[in-house]
Amino acid sequence: MPVQILVNSGDALSYSADVLILKYAQRSYGADGIVVSRLLASNPGLEANLPKPGSPLVCSGAGAVAAEQVLFVGVPSLSELTYADIRQFAKNALSMLHDLAAQSTRSVALTVPGPNYGLDELACFDAVVAGLLDQLSSELPSGLATITIMENSPRRARRFAQELEKILASSTLQRKGDLHGGVHADLQPGAAERLYTAGAAQDRKPVAFVAMPFREEMLDVYDYGILAATGRAGFLCERADQEHFTGDILSWVRQRIDACAIVVADLSFMNPNVYLEVGYAWGRGKPTVLLIQDGQELPFDVRGQRCLKYKRIKHLEEQLFSDLLAVGSGNKG
């Protein structure tokens, strides 16, 4: 029986599967936080048993999610989570599934840790796929037929699906023969090296930290201007998504700016959080690229600074790519 890896746009908690796999980052966040709160009604001792990094916890999904079971996999706290940790999460999840769940498990669903909490979304996705293939190549439940990577954002789900097509020549992985002995993945040209380095190598890549307003009209600016330019220039693209982040976001922002190679800040709409992040970056001596939409005004205190003014997103991508390429070349030298 072959095994398929798929990307699906939708709510992971409403997706029907035998097992839903969720990370537990030593506190409840996002989807796993919702599931924990729902399960507490019938299992008041659950919180005390939530897993430490590298450990599992299996619960019935009844009354909490559409899946029959939930597998929590412990990972480090979000402030410490690395791309290598995300790869290990995916590998651990399938290994634990093999050890803990019934061999009749046919379908599993999981989410990609990291993107809603600032990490580069495609680097996180590559790390998950690499971790899944690490385990799938050696051992898996005999009945497993489908692994679905769930993403609630349609825009991000499309990017994940496109990324999967760049990795796998076919989403259907053929078993090697023995039911438990793993599968063979048909990879796209060049994908083997990407998968080999996914995780640890990503943690060593230069980071462009993005400070920008979170507004509907800025989505295309980020997706097709900033994200495209940073990726082309060889940077990971990280930003603090205040809509999803819980906990001490300012502490996390300071940590990521301290660790980044450059800050990209869009000053459009005079968002106070963006100016706060720019001020901290300047105080730490970080190279900073300022952006602003054509027609927007700069306040007096930054009016004398170099700022890339853009009218079209393609123009923004080209200008930003040129600036980032110069910084990236300096890092390599």
pLDDT in tens, 219-245: 999 999 999 999 999 999 999 765 555
| Domain count across the chain | 2
State residue 140's pLDDT score. 79
pLDDT of 333 over the 50 cut: no
- Do 67 and 155 fall into the same domain? yes
State residue 321's pLDDT score. 97
Among 202, 189, 32, smallest CA distance to 131 is for: 202
Share of the chain above pLDDT 70, in %: 93
State residue 252's pLDDT score. 84
Task: Return d(Cα 209, Cα 316) in angstroms, integer.
Answer: 17
Beta 172-175 vs 3-9: how paired, if at all? antiparallel
Task: Return d(Cα 149, Cα 152) in angstroms, integer.
Answer: 10
pLDDT grade for 142, boundaries at 50, 70 and 90: confident
pLDDT grade for 154, boundaries at 50, 70 and 90: very high
pLDDT of 332 over the 80 cut: no
pLDDT of 146 over the 90 cut: yes
- Do 45 and 69 fall into the same domain? yes
Among 33, 7, 11, 14, smallest CA distance to 22 is for: 33
- Do 168 and 211 fall into the same domain? no
What CATH number should be reported for the domain holding residue 168? 3.40.220.10
Q: Which of these ranges, 65-74, 99-108, 228-237, has the smallest mean pLDDT? A: 99-108
- Do 37 and 171 fall into the same domain? yes
pLDDT of 327 over the 90 cut: no
State residue 250's pLDDT score. 85
Better-predicted residue by pLDDT, 235 or 302: 235
Sheet holding 236-239, edge to edge: 236-239, 207-211, 262-266, 288-293, 307-310
The mean per-residue pLDDT over the stretch 27-42 comes to 89
Per the DSSP assignment, residues forming a β-bridge with 309 are 292
Q: pLDDT tens across 119-130, in order? A: 999 999 999 999
pLDDT grade for 92, boundaries at 50, 70 and 90: very high
Tokens 């990209």 locate to: 264
Kindly report the average pLDDT of the chain as a whole number: 90
Select from 155, 174, 197 the last residue of a domain: 197
pLDDT grade for 263, boundaries at 50, 70 and 90: very high
Q: Which of these ranges, 40-49, 92-101, 217-226, 276-285, has the smallest mean pLDDT? A: 92-101
Among 52, 51, 112, smallest CA distance to 83 is for: 112
Cβ 253 vs Cβ 277: under 8 Å: yes
Which residue range forms the structural domain that includes residue 306? 205-332
Q: pLDDT tens across 13-27, in order? A: 999 999 999 999 998
Select from 197, 220, 250 the last residue of a domain: 197
- Do 106 and 212 fall into the same domain? no
- Within 13 A of 128's CA, how many CA atoms are on the CB side? 27
The mean per-residue pLDDT over the stretch 106-115 comes to 95
pLDDT of 32 over the 80 cut: yes
Query: What's the Cα-to-Cα distance from 44 to each of 19, 21, 40, 51, rounded to whole Å?
Result: 21, 21, 5, 15
Better-predicted residue by pLDDT, 79 or 154: 154
- Do 240 and 274 fall into the same domain? yes
Within 8 A by CB and 6+ apart from 153, the residues are 9
- Do 228 and 186 fall into the same domain? no
- Do 176 and 131 fall into the same domain? yes
- Do 101 and 229 fall into the same domain? no
- Do 191 and 209 fall into the same domain? no
Within 8 A by CB and 6+ apart from 186, the residues are 168, 169, 170, 173, 174
Among 90, 159, 96, smallest CA distance to 127 is for: 90
- Do 307 and 178 fall into the same domain? no
Select from 180, 197, 214 the last residue of a domain: 197
- Do 232 and 178 fall into the same domain? no
What CATH number should be reported for the domain holding residue 282? 3.40.50.450
pLDDT of 98 over the 80 cut: no
Beta 69-74 vs 56-60: how paired, if at all? antiparallel
HEC string of the chain? CCEEEEEEECCHHHCCCCEEEEEECCCCCHHHHHHHHHHCCCCCCHHHHCCCCCCEEEEECCCCCCCCEEEEEECCCCCCCCHHHHHHHHHHHHHHHHHHCCCCCCEEEEECCCHHHCCCHHHHHHHHHHHHHHHHCCCCCCCCCEEEEEECCHHHHHHHHHHHHHHECCCEEEECCCCCCCEECCECCCHHHHHHHCCCCHHHCCEEEEECCCCHHHHHHHHHHHHHHHHHCCCEEEECCCCCCCCCHHHHHHHHHHHCCEEEEECHHHCHHHHHHHHHHHHCCCCEEEEEECCCCCCHHHCCCCEEEECCHHHHHHHHHHHHHHHHHHHHC
Q: pLDDT tens across 241-258, in order? A: 655 555 677 888 999 999
Share of the chain above pLDDT 90, in %: 69
